Structure 1
Amino acid sequence: MNEQRSSENIQFTTFMLRRSTMKKIIVIVVTLGIFLLTGIVGCSPTEEPAEPIVLSVLYNEKEDAPFQEDWLILEEYKKRQNVILDVRLGDDADYGTVIAQTFESGNIPDIVLKVWPDTIESYAASGVLLPFSDYENLMPNFMDYIKEHNLESELDKLRLDNGKYYILPGYQREIQVQQWIYRRDIFESNGLEIPNTYDELFDALVRLKEIYPDTTPITASWGGAHLFAMMGSGYGIPAGWAGTRSYNEAESRWQFAPATENYKELYRFLNRCYQAEILDPEIFTQGDEDYYNKIQDGRALVTVTWITSGFDNWNAKLEENGFPDGEWAALPVPESTIGIRALPAVNPFRKGLVVPARVINEPYFEDLLKFLDWAVYSEEGMTLTTWGVEGTTFENTPNGKVYLPNIKTPKNPEGTLDITAEYGLNTLFNLNENEEFEDYKKPPEIVAFLDRSLEAGETAKMSPQLALDSNAIEAIRILDEKIAPYASEAGQSFITGELSIDEDWDDYLLKLEQKGYKTLEEIWNAAWEEQK
């Protein structure tokens, strides 16, 4: 019995020893494993970062800020978003043609910048472009921006009849910063009052042309499209780059503007200016460089432009060119020859971008949308676009952001660094108005002028939105190809006098009709009746 118990005790002791040994082994193994794992993790080299995403983009290059591959903003996109931009350049002065040629070629970059709804509708309707409305879940900053600024109704205006929108929009406040400007020093030194009407403007410039025969008193860029758009509002019509579709509120119908009596009167005044040699004869052909030379060398006396930044740079150039008292200043909009005093309506839509539908099949599709969402609509992205990099271009103060002392701005013309030309700021993805940035760069005189213009109600009212289906858009495109070139050519001839406004107008209307302008109006008004 004792031997049996002794044997059992031995077996039990052996079992416990083995169990204890196994526990120790397990503890040792686990401990060693943890140690080795910790050692491996702690000593392993840093994980290789993901390969950058390369996105192609069509960009409207400007003469005064040529594209640079080493722009700071490009470096920041790579650093912050791991994105490299393959930038393809188009001349800003003829960018509409560049876009059309790009779309027709079929070789559309991943991103096309600076587009407007009416220029891309036909491509969207034909399936060439991506419907952003299908991917709102990938763009939280965009959706927050729309909600924060109460832009839902504006976004709806971009939808085609299928309910989708194909353009990623940028927005601005409804303050008209496109204004008339004039050489205030020349007017004042010759005892001329600020012109209140087109007729007074005409008389003043005729007088100044006599005194300064080498001047081209009224000049403009973009083939005159900007000037004509500004003047068109004074005749109650769209003109120049404002398009040709005019809403007649009294009759609740749409008209082809270049066939209206109001357009005829616009041509009449421009022809009068041309014959008096106060309208620049090179207005239809000159490029930006020629235009700016005339602004800065004393030849131009009146033009239209964006006045946001003031005129210190131009005035400094005038001084360099022998006009120590030379001064450009904003000119209150004159009343037209038919009694309308108005500036072009301000569309909250500022400009937009599109991407081709093919990107949905690319492995970087979601990354592309997330990058655009960040670059255009996030606070960080908008700050980078406008202000740049804290400590390099600006600093935060208790009173808001301010540029560093070396940065050249309207408030600091003595600065040595042009952040647009040198760093690429305010170029690529500057779709949205950064209100803090815009208000900061306006000189006090400009702020006061714009406040006066706003209070006077000088800005025309926006026309209603006209919804067109894909068939209508395509029909309009085909008709436009026939009508637009002739209307533009004839308009130029009316201005220069090659065509007589009184004797050739009826023949001009007949040719427009033969090319289909009344069919164009029928399409618009059929859609309008269905929409009402």
Structure 2
Amino acid sequence: MKRELTARPARRFARAATALAVAGTLFAVAGCTAGGSSEEPAGSENDAGSMSGYGVDKTFTASEPLTFSMLWTDWPETPIKDSWEVFDEIAERTNVSLELTNIPFSDALEKRSLLISAGDAPQIIPLVYTGEERQFAATGAVVALSDYEDHMPHFQKYVDEWDLRDMIDNLRQADGKYYMMPGLQEVSVPTFTLVVRTDIIEEVGAEVPETWDDLRTVLEKIKAKYPDSTPLADGFEGQSMLNYAAHAFGTVAGWGFGNGTFFNEEKGEFEYAATNEGYKEMVEYFHGLVEDGLLDTESFTAAVEGSSTVLEKFAAGQVFAASGANGTVQEFNAALEAAGAEGYEVVQIAPPGGPAGQIVEPRNFWNGFMLTAEAEESPNFIALLQFLDWLYYSPEARDLLRWGVEGETYTKGADGSYQLNPEYSLDAFNINPDAPTDIQKDLGYSNDPLSGSTESRALKESYNVPAFVDYIDSVLTNRTPRDPFPPAPLDEAELEQASLLSTPLKDTVDTNTLKFILGERPLSEWDAFVSELEGQNLQGYLDLINGAHERYAAENG
């Protein structure tokens, strides 16, 4: 389904007097720097509609009305509406309308892949996370955006200000170019971690755990006080907890397993994560929790019809710590309130440390975008780059996409604080819940495909509860992000070969990790498990990855 959304002549409310001014004369941009813009003679084949003098802190406005096509993922909780004001605002400020091709959230990755592979995808592909671009880059289906960074001054500014250049370089593929523009985060903290009942921790005479060993001690005390409980749970088939725990054990696992490799700094090469000592220690740790009745095994397995959810167990006082994100805290609070609980306090805590130290995941990007190869042939290609630079990276657009229109839906204090006006709500974050108009559901602001991809720390904190701000502080103060692994980009043929090798290896790891943790396979068979991986041509897979790493290092110094 395609839907074109354009500006309407009438606006629901008067615009604030402080609306940003639009820049004037028009010509093509080239070689923009973080401080402003550079010029090149007009008349390039692909600069039609571009803005003259576009640069940092300027609102992009096309020199003629333009329409760009975009792939839009429909969230089930917030179905898109033709009446959404956000698209009117974008068009009014930029002279750009968006023609949307809609796909459902449930199978968005598959639908996206089919559209791109068939050459039927729109120009703009949002909601792209790092790594997802590799298959499309290898086949030439998407644009090498590193060739056009000079046309994106806001992007350059915040890459430099937030010290992200090394991370950007890590996106480069086998040809030395990168093919997606990521969402930039001034501060990056793990989204999923432990959510705990601190009132119960205090009740049993313990403190909020700083390490996984500390957590075991806390769980033992809770189990002694509440013998019918299994105090720790995941709720995501173990994938979430293993993901954030792995870093503290010096490995990768769960959602973060990726291609299964882990860079060994001492050896200067990649090893297979599931065969390193840290992975074994992690599995032994969680197996011990299961053995002592401290970990809810049901939360580590696929959902069973009729089984209780972690939310239900948390509300019933059967679970007191579980995997979750900021929104999980609100869900647990609501469930406890509905259950009649009193005096409870639910807090998201920094991921515990472990044998590898107080280590958490590396600084990370949020979702960004790709451009399909056909976009590069458009006579409006430079204008498209300028528009996306404004939309994804300018503070003006980021405020708009999150909060709406200043002076209409929200006000901004002299200290930079944001305040949603009382007639508007943002139910997703429990802000003004009784107000009649939800800026997300009714107006399209704070939508998932666009808002949140690039954020300053102040903007991130503006819509989150104070407890989440405390969580950010605790991670930044008391935890160290693991260094990212060095690049090992594969070419098209290698990607296909790596996929054929890595899939059965990962299947073996997933199956046996769960069996070891749940006690369905004895830990005494660990060496046999490693041998099984070796029998699936593990060494050939590692040779492929390490060969790509050595080649990239040789070519890029």
**Global fold match (TM > 0.5):** yes
Task: Give the counterpart of 2:323 among 298, 304, 321.
Answer: 304
1:319 to 331, 337, 350: 337
Letter of the aligned partner of 1:529 in structure 2? Answer: E
- Out of 356, 360, 382, the position equivalent to 1:344 is 360
For the residues of structure 1 that align with 2:493 and 2:266, how far apart are their CA atoms?
28
**Distance (Å, rounded) in 1 between the aligned partners of 2:115 and 2:342:** 46
* Paired position in structure 2 for 1:278: 295
State the shift of 1:363 in Å: 6.3
Q: Report whether the alignment pairs 1:88 with 2:95.
A: no
Number of aligned positions between the proteins:
477
Determine helix, strand or coil for the equivalent of 2:166.
Answer: helix
Corresponding residue for residue 530 of structure 2: 509
1:161 aligns with 2:180: no
Distance in 2, matches of 1:353 and 1:476, equals 25
Q: Is this contact kept in 2: 1:217–1:280, CA < 8 A?
A: no
Larger radius of gyration: 1
- Amino acid of the structure 2 residue aligned with 1:425: Y
What does residue 485 of structure 2 align with? 463
Q: Distance in 2 between matches of 1:508 and 1:155?
A: 37
Shift of 1:51: 7.2
Question: Equivalent residues in 2 for 1:56-205 (5 A)?
Answer: 56-59=70-73, 61=75, 65-81=78-94, 82-91=96-105, 107-136=120-149, 138-178=151-191, 179-205=193-219
Letter in 2 for 1:114: L
Mapping for residues 427-442 of structure 1, pairs under 5 Å: 427-429=448-450, 430-442=452-464
Cα distance in 1, alignment partners of residues 434 and 280 from structure 2: 48
Q: In the alignment, what sits opposite 2:548?
A: 527
**Closer, same or farther: CA 109–225 of 1 in aligned 2, 3 Å:** farther
Consecutive unaligned residues in structure 1, runs of 5 or more: 1-48
Change (3 A) 1:199 1:401: closer
Moved more, 439-448 or 316-325: 439-448
Distance 2:157 2:210 in 1: 44
Q: Kindly provide the CA deviation profile for residues 56-87 of structure 1, in whole angstroms up to 9, marking residues without a partner as x.
A: 314273x6545445433233334434323425
Shift of 1:126: 1.7
User: Deviation digits for residues 25-80 of structure 1, max 9, x if unmatched?
Assistant: xxxxxxxxxxxxxxxxxxxxxxxx9876252314273x654544543323333443
d(CA) in 2 for partners of 1:71, 1:290: 35
Query: 1:26: which partner in 2?
Result: none
Calculate percent identity across the aligned residue pairs: 25
Are the counterparts in 2 of residues 333 and 341 from structure 1 also a CA contact under 8 Å? no
Tell me, in whole angstroms, the C-alpha distance in 1 between the residues paired with 2:386 and 2:130. Answer: 22
Give, in angstroms, the shift of residue 265 of structure 1. 1.9
Give the deviation of 1:476 after TM superposition: 1.9
| Cα drift, residue 346 of structure 1 | 3.0
Stretches (4+) displaced over 6 A: 49-52
How many angstroms does 1:271 deviate by? Answer: 2.4
- Return the offset for 1:432: 0.9
How far residue 257 of structure 1 moved from its aligned partner, in angstroms, is 0.4
Q: Does 1:331 align with 2:353?
A: no
2:414 to 376, 391, 398: 398
Aligned to 1:358: 374
Report the residue type matching 2:333 in the other structure.
N
Structure 1-normalised TM-score?
A: 0.77
Q: Distance in 1 between matches of 2:114 and 2:510?
A: 20
Report the Cα distance in structure 2 between the residues aligned to 1:216 and 1:64, rounded to whole angstroms: 32
1: CA distance, partners of 2:114 / 2:219: 40
Hey, what does 1:425 align to over in structure 2?
A: 445
For 2:111 and 2:203, locate their aligned partners in 1 and report how far apart those are by CA, in whole Å. 44
How far did residue 321 of structure 1 move?
2.3
Residue 299 of structure 2: SS of its match in structure 1? coil
Moved more, 464-473 or 390-399: 464-473
* Structure 2 residue identity aligned to 1:180: L
Greater Cα offset, 231-240 or 186-195: 186-195
Q: Helix, strand or coil: the match of 1:182?
A: strand
Contact 1:74–1:85 (8 Å) recurs in 2 = no
- Deviation, 1:248, is 0.9
Alignment partner of 2:69 out of 37, 45, 55: 55
1:475 correspondence with 2:492:
no
Q: Deviations over 1:280-306 (max 9, x none)?
A: 41334349x955555566554212344
Give the letter for the 2:344 counterpart.
Answer: G
Query: How big is the shift at 1:497?
Result: 2.6
User: What secondary structure, in the 3-state scheme, does the structure 1 residue paired with 2:360 have?
Assistant: coil
The structure carrying a bigger helix percent of its residues is 1
Read off the aligned partner of 2:361 and give its amino acid letter: A
User: How many angstroms does 1:412 deviate by?
Assistant: 5.0
The CA distance in 1 between the partners of 2:150 and 2:471, in whole Å, is: 42
Counterpart position of 1:489: 511
Give the letter for the 1:234 counterpart.
A
| Alignment partners' CA distance in 2, 1:479 and 1:487 | 13
Q: Is the 8 A contact 1:52 1:78 kept in 2?
A: no
CA 1:227 to 1:360, structure 2 compared with 1: closer, same or farther past 3 Å? Answer: same
Q: Quick one: structure 1 residues 99 and 278, their matched pair in 2 at CA, closer, same or farther if it must change by over 3 Å?
A: farther
Answer whether contact 1:57 1:109 (CA < 8 A) is retained: yes
Could you say what secondary structure the match of 1:323 adopts?
Answer: coil
Quick one: which amino acid aligns to residue 279 of structure 1?
D
**2:263 partner SS:** strand
1:298–1:341 Cα change, 3 Å: farther
Q: Distance in 1 between matches of 2:443 and 2:317?
A: 31
CA shift, 1:246, in A, is 0.5
In structure 2, relative to structure 1, the CA distance for the partners of 1:296 and 1:102 (3 Å cut) is farther
Which amino acid letter does the alignment assign opposite residue 238 of structure 2? G
Given the superposition, is the C-alpha separation of residues 296 and 50 from structure 1 closer, same or farther in structure 2, using an over 3 Å criterion? Answer: farther
User: CA 1:135–1:315 in structure 2 vs 1: closer, same or farther (change >3 Å)?
Assistant: same
Question: Do 2:72 and 2:102's aligned partners in 1 also have CA atoms closer than 8 Å?
Answer: yes
Aligned to 2:262: 246
> Helix, strand or coil for the counterpart of 1:486?
helix
Q: Measure how far apart 1:250 and its partner are.
A: 1.7
Distance, in Å, in 1 between the alignment partners of 2:414 and 2:177 is 43
CA distance in 2, matches of 1:392, 1:403: 11
User: What SS does the aligned partner of 2:496 have?
Assistant: helix
The unaligned stretches of length 5 or more in structure 2 are 1-62
User: Aligned in 2, Cα 1:453/1:383: closer, same or farther, shift over 3 Å?
Assistant: closer
Question: How far has the Cα of 1:145 moved from its partner?
Answer: 3.9
CA shift at 1:157, angstroms? 2.1
SS in 1 for 2:358: coil
Length-normalised TM-score, structure 2? 0.74
Instruction: Give the aligned partner of residue 273 of structure 2.
Output: 257
Give yes or no for contact 1:394–1:401 (8 Å, CA) kept in 2. no
Instruction: Return the letter of the residue paired with 2:391.
Output: A
Aligned residue for 2:242, secondary structure, equals helix
